A = this chain, B = another copy of it.
Amino acid sequence: MLLVVSSPSGAGKTTLCRRLRGEFPNLAFSVSYTTRKPRSGEVDGKDYHFVDKDTFQEMIARDEFAEYAMVHGNLYGTSVAAIERALSAGRDVLFDVDYQGGEMLRKRFGEEVVLVFILPPSIAELERRLRARGTDDEATIARRLRVAREELRHYHEYDYLVMNDDLERAYDALRAIYVAQLHVRSRMEPKARRVLESAGPETP
């Protein structure tokens, strides 16, 4: 399963995803490639694969990205190879990408992709949270709110919507979506077939 979690900045996505990975070690986090410079403390290969623009462009040309996007002048992308490695090791992969990334993943991996959007209770509340964080200047907050409105307009492209008005409830919902998806028929088919086979041949 490729679990995509999108949300406007400040809606609580990072906290929710970190907790989900903590509870389900089988859920791998996709390490993106980026042309952005490492920030202090960021580790190459763990936080991101840091590459230069030429390398990134060559990877695009070789169709090596399952999804990629330009964000504030920097390129970010997820390699197909990394996803396929995780899936063939029997792991699920968690993605923190926007609706464009989700759409590209859905096109490439079809029904394996589960799209979840985290909704803030309101734009006013989102603004309040961004200010409370105290990490962004006015211009950044204005930009984040503009992007948030844009992202919200794409909610109908998602399979599930989770309102984060209460962190515990939102986590319970996100967790439920992951656990439920582990039990959709297609994923449980091998187990069901084993039980059926344990029934032996039909006895009329």
Q: Which residues of chain A have a CB within 8 Å of any CB of chain B?
A: 117, 119-124, 146, 148-149, 152-153, 155-156, 158-163, 172-173, 175-185, 188-189, 191-192, 194-196, 198-200, 202-203
Copies in the complex: 2
A121 neighbours in B (Cβ, 8 Å): 195
Q: Chain B residue with minimal CB distance to A181?
A: B180
Is the pair A191, B161 in contact by a Cβ cutoff of 8 Å?
yes
In the complex the two chains form, what is the Cα distance from A53 to B124 in whole Å? 60
- List 5 contacting pairs A-B, 8 Å CB cutoff, sorted by A: A122-B194, A176-B178, A176-B179, A179-B180, A180-B180
| Of B155, B173, B183, the contact of A161 (CB 8 Å cutoff) | B183
In the complex the two chains form, what is the Cα distance from A155 to B194 in whole Å? 12
